[in-house]
């Protein structure tokens, strides 16, 4: 497949780097200001990414030129935005209007405007996939697809590595939230502004996407009941531990709704993953619970989910 990649950050850059290994070709790579586009000659991904890393223009073309290339799949890996989910949504719209496929790493369009995306998809010869938007490298959506969404009754998961890292460290060391957050920022686990991770928004967006898949639409972030981990004191983790439990930020998606909040889980149970690992529990009607655990974030990890989607097209 010929890939046009929008977004040259950790995920978009990794997709560009790994595409060849998966048998695909990159014909365009763009960030918000410039694009590198393969016209007659082959696009040199490595040097384009080097230029971007040293704050030079990624390429010489206008980002809009990406849509004029001869691509098969648009990989949308620009940052997630809420509300109208722009510019991600417009990118999806444009690619579908041209009957091309879209693979999303960007959560915005399928969390905030799922029905709109599906309506555009119905009018198009292209299709939309978004495995990378939920749980990074963990095959969550393809598992639900394999079980068929109707046979899945609920999906629960520890879906944010930053929040999980903080709770794990707080429980292990008896430290205060603020202290562990600062440590996580020093280690690069938490971003300078960790709000989306610790207040539950990131996990909620993933669960909203899951609920949309289960119910075929109907949910956006404002429908989710979300509580973060900022107010969990070490004393609560101690009490939980005395009882053989611990606390994890767990998101839950069903056809009825989305809930995210700190929950008590058995200390040695499957859901008590530690550090930045994620886990997803898929509760099925006929086959009990299925679990997948792994790296829920990271450039190359998430890129593998994007490339798996490309392979499924």
> Please, which residue, 83 or 244, has the CB nearer to another protein?
244
Beta bridge partners of 156: 252, 281
- 286 binds another protein per the rule CB under 8 A: no
Shortest Cβ distance from residue 163 to another protein (Å)?
14
- 87 binds another protein per the rule CB under 8 A: no
Binding-site member from 240, 258, 280, 310 for another protein (CB under 8 A): 240
Binding-site member from 20, 83, 233, 311 for another protein (CB under 8 A): 233
Q: How many Å apart are CA 266 and CA 21, to the nearest integer? A: 41
Stretch that binds another protein, among 21-29, 48-56, 101-109, 245-253 (CB under 8 A): 245-253
Shortest Cβ distance from residue 165 to another protein (Å)?
18
Stretch that binds another protein, among 16-24, 90-98, 113-121, 229-237 (CB under 8 A): 229-237
Number of residues that bind another protein (CB under 8 A): 32
Beta bridge partners of 293: 279
Residues near 278 by beta carbon (within 8 Å), at least 6 away in sequence = 135, 136, 138, 157, 158, 159, 160, 161, 164, 293, 294, 295, 296, 297
Q: How many Å apart are CA 131 and CA 139, to the nearest integer? A: 7
Give the other-Cβ count within 10 Å of 225's Cβ.
12
Per the listing, tokens 């690992």 go with 277
Both tokens assigned to 201: 């928004």
Q: How many Å apart are CA 149 and CA 166, to the nearest integer? A: 32
Q: Is 266 helix (H, G, I), strand (E, B) or coil?
A: strand
Shortest Cβ distance from residue 243 to another protein (Å)?
6
Q: Is 32 helix (H, G, I), strand (E, B) or coil?
A: coil
Is 206 one of the annotated active-site residues of the chain?
A: yes
- 154 binds another protein per the rule CB under 8 A: yes
C-alpha 239: how far from chain center? 33
- 239 binds another protein per the rule CB under 8 A: yes
- 258 binds another protein per the rule CB under 8 A: no
- 250 binds another protein per the rule CB under 8 A: yes
- 206 binds another protein per the rule CB under 8 A: no
Q: Where are the beta strands (DSSP E) in the chain?
A: 2-6, 25-30, 35-37, 73-76, 101-104, 128-129, 152-158, 225-226, 245-253, 258-266, 277-284, 289-295
Stretch that binds another protein, among 40-48, 97-105, 140-148, 283-291 (CB under 8 A): 283-291
Q: Give me the catalytic one of 91, 100, 206, 263.
A: 206
Shortest Cβ distance from residue 298 to another protein (Å)?
26
- 227 binds another protein per the rule CB under 8 A: yes
- 261 binds another protein per the rule CB under 8 A: yes
What residue ranges bind another protein (CB under 8 A)?
Answer: 154, 156, 227, 231-236, 238-240, 242-243, 245, 247-248, 250, 252, 261-266, 269-271, 281, 283, 288-289
């Amino acid at each position: 497949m010929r890939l046009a990649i929008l977004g040259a950050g950790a995920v978009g850059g990794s997709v560009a780097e790994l595409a060849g290994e998966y048998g695909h070709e990159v014909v365009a790579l763009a960030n918000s200001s410039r694009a590198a586009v393969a016209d007659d000659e082959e696009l040199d991904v490595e040097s384009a990414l080097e230029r971007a890393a040293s704050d030079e223009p990624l390429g010489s073309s206008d980002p809009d030129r990406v849509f004029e290339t001869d691509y098969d799949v648009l990989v949308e890996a620009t940052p997630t935005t809420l509300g109208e989910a722009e510019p991600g949504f417009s990118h999806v719209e444009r690619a579908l209007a041209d009957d091309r496929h879209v693979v999303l790493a960007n959560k915005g369009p399928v969390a905030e405007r799922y029905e709109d995306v599906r309506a555009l998809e119905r009018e198009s010869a292209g299709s939309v996939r978004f495995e990378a938007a939920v749980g990074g490298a963990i095959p969550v959506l393809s598992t639900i697809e394999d079980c068929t969404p109707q046979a899945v009754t609920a999906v629960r998961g520890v879906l944010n590595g930053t929040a999980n890292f903080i709770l794990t460290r707080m429980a292990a060391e008896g430290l205060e939230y603020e202290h562990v957050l600062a440590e996580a920022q020093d280690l690069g686990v938490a971003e300078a502004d960790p709000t989306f991770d610790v207040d539950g928004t990131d996990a909620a967006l993933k669960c909203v996407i899951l609920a949309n898949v289960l119910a075929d639409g109907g949910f956006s972030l404002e429908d989710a009941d979300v509580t973060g981990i900022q107010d969990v004191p070490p004393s609560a983790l101690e009490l939980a531990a005395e009882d053989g439990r611990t606390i994890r930020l767990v998101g839950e998606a069903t056809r009825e709704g989305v809930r995210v909040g700190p929950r008590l889980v058995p200390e040695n149970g499957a859901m008590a993953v530690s550090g930045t690992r994620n886990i997803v529990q898929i509760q099925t009607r006929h086959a009990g619970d299925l679990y997948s655990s792994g790296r829920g974030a990271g450039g190359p990890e998430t890129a593998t989910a994007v490339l798996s989607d490309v392979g499924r097209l």
